[in-house]
Amino acid sequence: MEDLLKYAEELSRKVDSFIYETVKGAPQVLYDAALHYIKAGGKRLRPLVVALSARIAGGNENIAIPGAAAVEVLHTFTLIHDDIIDKDEVRRGVPTVHKIWGIDTAIVAGDLLYAYAYKCLLKALELGVPSTNVVKALDFLTEAAITVAEGQALDMILPSKSEVDVKDYIDMVSKKTAALFAFSAKIGAVLAGAPQDLIDKLFNVMMNAGIAFQIKDDILGLIGDEKVLGKPVYSDLREGKMTILVIYALKNLEQAKREKLLKVLGNRSATMDEFREAAKLIIDSGALEYAQSLAKMYAERAVEALNTLSAQDTEALNMFKELVLYMIERAK
Amino acid sequence: MEDLLKYAEELSRKVDSFIYETVKGAPQVLYDAALHYIKAGGKRLRPLVVALSARIAGGNENIAIPGAAAVEVLHTFTLIHDDIIDKDEVRRGVPTVHKIWGIDTAIVAGDLLYAYAYKCLLKALELGVPSTNVVKALDFLTEAAITVAEGQALDMILPSKSEVDVKDYIDMVSKKTAALFAFSAKIGAVLAGAPQDLIDKLFNVMMNAGIAFQIKDDILGLIGDEKVLGKPVYSDLREGKMTILVIYALKNLEQAKREKLLKVLGNRSATMDEFREAAKLIIDSGALEYAQSLAKMYAERAVEALNTLSAQDTEALNMFKELVLYMIERAK
């Protein structure tokens, strides 16, 4: 794990300076808003997926940096727009973009970053990646962006559905969260000229790991603490999110408790005590154990797919395995 | 002009069916919102620029369709987000996307279209355009998107500047409006494999024509009628937009009238009579004549650049000239 942490730090430095070199212009206020979350920190997990996938495919890490920067920039754009939609006020321990600069500027700052994701990736041409591979990577970035937008829409629609089942949830998180991890793997691999078979395997690993990652995120959103999360506890409940925990609880609680939970869900004026009580209802329903077992299932699928991989760059493959383990077991 | 109109109609049909074939998926509500303005009509001017530029560069129109669709889809995304920011309620004679589906869905529908602009353009590969040209076209699309976002931010910032001069205005409209026309020309030309010199010339024509187009738009916003505009009159005044007319009037009106105008500008609760009076103040300041002369200057630059062009496809060149004349003299 130490190797991975050290590598993650090194890579972050490279990716961040690539981003700062690429994303610049005027007016200043727009660029300040656009770069706000990048400056605030973040784990840069998706860049790691890109870089390690490229190395597993036999490529040099340097040719993956434009792709690593692209997915981080795309991810950041989605955070800015999601925070507007979710009315979130804190992210990565800092006020959200729309809280500081207003919704209008936040919309445009997100739009600006969107374009810069492509700008970053296009720079792979300057590093000698053949344009046939660059267009494939651009197509993957585009597929990712389409899929994430569809996932975001599903996330918005689910709370108004009369009954939400696990299949709806998996479809939503596959698109909203896991897809960008999975396409990050594809982007890294194709920049290194990987064959289709390897691209598909890496995609498969990350799709499953990404789903497990999101389930863990749902769990942490209920039982994690504010400092670790970098955002207020119970924000999922406040926003009425259809997390796997809520879906399970709504299905399995008796009528009276179910109605009590529904009264608090998405109720922005509910008190902290009411949220605490709602969380207790969810926990008492057995939702945590269910979510853990579901996460475990996807984690096992990820590991299974992982075990079919081989690479000359064994260091990269080992770190990739550690990364998957981190994603499916993370405490943060 | 008749030739151009007939061609515009034919091309619209091709571009629209290309868009409908490409932009599809689930959830339905998201795609309905995304395609709302495309279905509502529109002039498809930017696709015309792409197609005619490709033909002038010696290319077949068919290879330009993905680029034509891409710029129209990108344009539509900017309209959806701009309407949220401007709180506009009507566009192309129909309720705006956020009025029908709410701001959250409108944000995501715009984001979805953004990705589909790239998806459209990437399909040029299937039509045999070499990937070296496709990546160049993708880079132009990206430059356009960055520039339009910067222009949108400038448009938002200008009203709060203590003094706005013509230079600020030209910088803003070059980015917000003219850039997409100018990059449309580049995209069409590069898809057809045009040499740099021709790409630059076409860009130059459209940059100047695009600025003249926006100045005319400002004029129509003040003196046009609702039916022709497809949106309420005086919306620029209501939104406090720094149109060239307002900039001129604020600079040239005597203090008392200036203050009267400032009281109405951006005041969403002002009455229709107050807007009418404000419009009269602007007209009396000589702003219309000034704007006309400024539009004429850019129109002349466009025509001058136009006269340096030559093409084997004389029909395309003639229609391109008619298009430029339409843009700089349009009644709608």
Q: Do B115 and A157 touch (CB under 8 A)?
A: no
- Nearest Cα to B149, choosing from A75, A77, A69? A77
Q: Do B138 and A146 touch (CB under 8 A)?
A: no
Over chain A, what is the mean pLDDT? 95
Closest chain B residue to A152, measured at CA:
B108
Closest chain A residue to B86, measured at CA:
A104
pLDDT higher than threshold 70 for residue A84: yes
Cross-chain CB nearest to B131 (options A107, A122, A132): A132
- Dihedral, CA atoms, B18, A108, B230, B104, nearest 10 degrees? 80
Digit-coded pLDDT (tens) for A214-244: 999 999 989 887 766 667 778 899 999 999 9
Q: Which residues pair with A91 in a beta bridge?
A: A94
Predicted pLDDT at A235 = 87
What's the predicted TM-score (pTM) here? 0.96
CB proximity list for B332: less than 8 A, separation 6 or greater: B43, B220, B224, B228, B229
Separation of first and last alpha carbons in chain A: 15
Q: Where are the alpha helices (DSSP H) in B192-271?
A: 196-223, 226-229, 235-238, 244-252, 255-264
Closest chain A residue to B149, measured at CA:
A112
Residues A81 and A201 sit within 8 Å (Cβ to Cβ): no
Residues B209, B242: Cα–Cα separation, whole Å: 20
Predicted pLDDT at B45 = 96
Distances (CA, A) of A16 to A20, A79, B315: 6, 17, 50
Residues A19 and A34 sit within 8 Å (Cβ to Cβ): no
Predicted pLDDT at B229 = 66
Torsion-angle region of residue B313: left (phi > 0), alpha (psi -120 to 50) or beta?
beta
Mean pLDDT, range A189-204, rounded to an integer: 98
Token pair in block for residue B69: 């669709």
Angle at B15 between CA B14 and CA B17, to 5 degrees: 65
Q: What is the ipTM of this complex?
A: 0.96
Torsion-angle region of residue A2: left (phi > 0), alpha (psi -120 to 50) or beta?
alpha
Does residue B80 belong to any structural domain of this protein?
A: yes
Cross-chain CB nearest to A139 (options B78, B104, B122): B122
Chain-centroid distance, C-alpha A133: 25
Predicted pLDDT at A233 = 79
Predicted pLDDT at B106 = 98
Distances (CA, A) of B323 to B10, B64, B192, B319: 15, 17, 20, 6
* Chain B positions in Cβ-Cβ contact with residue A240 (cut-off 8 Å): none
Judged on CB neighbours under 10 Å (0-12, 13-18, 19+), A6 is exposed
Mean pLDDT, range B53-73, rounded to an integer: 97
Residue B332: pLDDT band by 50, 70, 90 thresholds? very low
* Omega of the bond leading into A27 within 30 degrees of 0 (cis): yes
Q: How far is B229 from chain A (nearest CA, A)?
A: 24
Does residue B100 belong to any structural domain of this protein?
A: yes
Predicted pLDDT at A300 = 95
Token pair in block for residue A237: 């409940």
Find the chain A residues whose C-beta atoms sit closer than 8 A to any C-beta of B: 25-27, 29-30, 78, 81, 84-85, 104-105, 107-108, 110-112, 114-116, 118-119, 122, 125, 131-132, 134-135, 138-139, 141-142, 145-146, 149-150, 152-154, 156-157
Judged by DSSP in three states, A331 sits in coil
Domain holding A163: CATH number?
1.10.600.10
Q: What does the DSSP assignment read for B285-329?
A: TTHHHHHHHHHHHHHHHHHHHHTT---S-HHHHHHHHHHHHHHHH
Over chain B, what is the mean pLDDT? 95
Structural domains of chain B, count: 1
Q: How far is A100 from chain B (nearest CA, A)?
A: 15
Cross-chain CB nearest to A118 (options B27, B112, B118): B118
Q: Which residues pair with A94 in a beta bridge?
A: A91
Predicted pLDDT at A332 = 44
Does residue B325 belong to any structural domain of this protein?
A: no
Residues A198 and A56 sit within 8 Å (Cβ to Cβ): yes
The single-letter DSSP state of residue B138 is: H
Cross-chain CB nearest to A25 (options B25, B135, B150): B150
Residues A49 and A40 sit within 8 Å (Cβ to Cβ): no
Q: How far is B46 from chain A (nearest CA, A)?
A: 19
Chain-centroid distance, C-alpha A331: 15
Mean pLDDT, range B217-232, rounded to an integer: 80
Q: Do A108 and B85 touch (CB under 8 A)?
A: yes
Q: Do A111 and B152 touch (CB under 8 A)?
A: yes
Q: How far is A331 from chain B (nearest CA, A)?
A: 30
Mean pLDDT, range A275-302, rounded to an integer: 96
Cross-chain CB nearest to A149 (options B84, B112, B150): B112
Q: Do B157 and A29 touch (CB under 8 A)?
A: yes
Q: Do A114 and B112 touch (CB under 8 A)?
A: no
Output the furthest CA–CA distance in chain B (Å, rounded): 64
% of chain B residues with pLDDT over 70? 98
The single-letter DSSP state of residue A144 is: H
* Chain B positions in Cβ-Cβ contact with residue A266 (cut-off 8 Å): none
CB proximity list for B160: less than 8 A, separation 6 or greater: none
Angle at A328 between CA A324 and CA A331, to 5 degrees: 115
Identify from A81, A123, A146, A180 which residue to disrupt to test chain B contact, counting B C-beta atoms within 10 A and taking the largest count. Answer: A146
Residue B41, CA atoms < 13 Å, CB-side half-sphere: 8
Residue with tokens 């369709």: B65
Residue B300: pLDDT band by 50, 70, 90 thresholds? very high
Token pair in block for residue A141: 């970035």
Residues B31 and B85 sit within 8 Å (Cβ to Cβ): no
Mean pLDDT, range B261-280, rounded to an integer: 94
Q: Do B145 and A115 touch (CB under 8 A)?
A: yes
Residue B167: pLDDT band by 50, 70, 90 thresholds? very high
Residues B111 and A81 sit within 8 Å (Cβ to Cβ): yes
Q: Do B111 and A81 touch (CB under 8 A)?
A: yes
CB pairs under 8 A between A and B: 126
Q: Do B115 and A146 touch (CB under 8 A)?
A: yes
* Chain B positions in Cβ-Cβ contact with residue A149 (cut-off 8 Å): 30, 108, 111-112, 115
* Chain B positions in Cβ-Cβ contact with residue A152 (cut-off 8 Å): 108, 111
Does residue B196 belong to any structural domain of this protein?
A: yes
Predicted pLDDT at B329 = 85
pLDDT higher than threshold 60 for residue B331: no
Residues B203, B302: Cα–Cα separation, whole Å: 10
* Size of chain B, expressed as the number of residues it contains: 332
Q: How far is B198 from chain A (nearest CA, A)?
A: 23
Residue B143: pLDDT band by 50, 70, 90 thresholds? very high
Could you give phi then psi for residue A6, rounded to 5 degrees? -65, -45
Residue B244: pLDDT band by 50, 70, 90 thresholds? very high
Cross-chain CB nearest to A138 (options B122, B145, B156): B122
Q: Which amino acid is at B148?
A: V
Rg of chain B over Cα atoms, rounded to whole angstroms, equals: 20
pLDDT higher than threshold 50 for residue B59: yes
% of chain A residues with pLDDT over 90? 92
Digit-coded pLDDT (tens) for A138-184: 999 999 999 999 999 999 999 999 889 999 999 999 999 999 999 99
Q: Do A25 and B146 touch (CB under 8 A)?
A: yes
- Nearest Cα to A121, choosing from A102, A144, A151? A144
pLDDT higher than threshold 80 for residue B226: no
Residues A39 and A16 sit within 8 Å (Cβ to Cβ): no
Residue B71, CA atoms < 13 Å, CB-side half-sphere: 32
- Nearest Cα to A205, choosing from A70, A113, A288, A328? A328
Cross-chain CB nearest to A119 (options B25, B114, B142): B142
Residues B151 and B135 sit within 8 Å (Cβ to Cβ): no
Does residue B67 belong to any structural domain of this protein?
A: yes
The residue segments making up the domain with residue A273 are 2-329
- Nearest Cα to B4, choosing from B44, B57, B58, B54? B44
Token pair in block for residue A223: 């039982």
pLDDT higher than threshold 80 for residue B205: yes
Find the chain B residues whose C-beta atoms sit closer than 8 A to any C-beta of A: 25-27, 29-30, 78, 81, 84-85, 104-105, 107-108, 110-112, 114-116, 118-119, 122, 125, 131-132, 134-135, 138-139, 141-142, 145-146, 149-150, 152-154, 156-157
Does residue B324 belong to any structural domain of this protein?
A: no
Does residue B141 belong to any structural domain of this protein?
A: yes
Does residue B329 belong to any structural domain of this protein?
A: no
Separation of first and last alpha carbons in chain B: 15
Angle at A154 between CA B83 and CA B35, to 5 degrees: 40
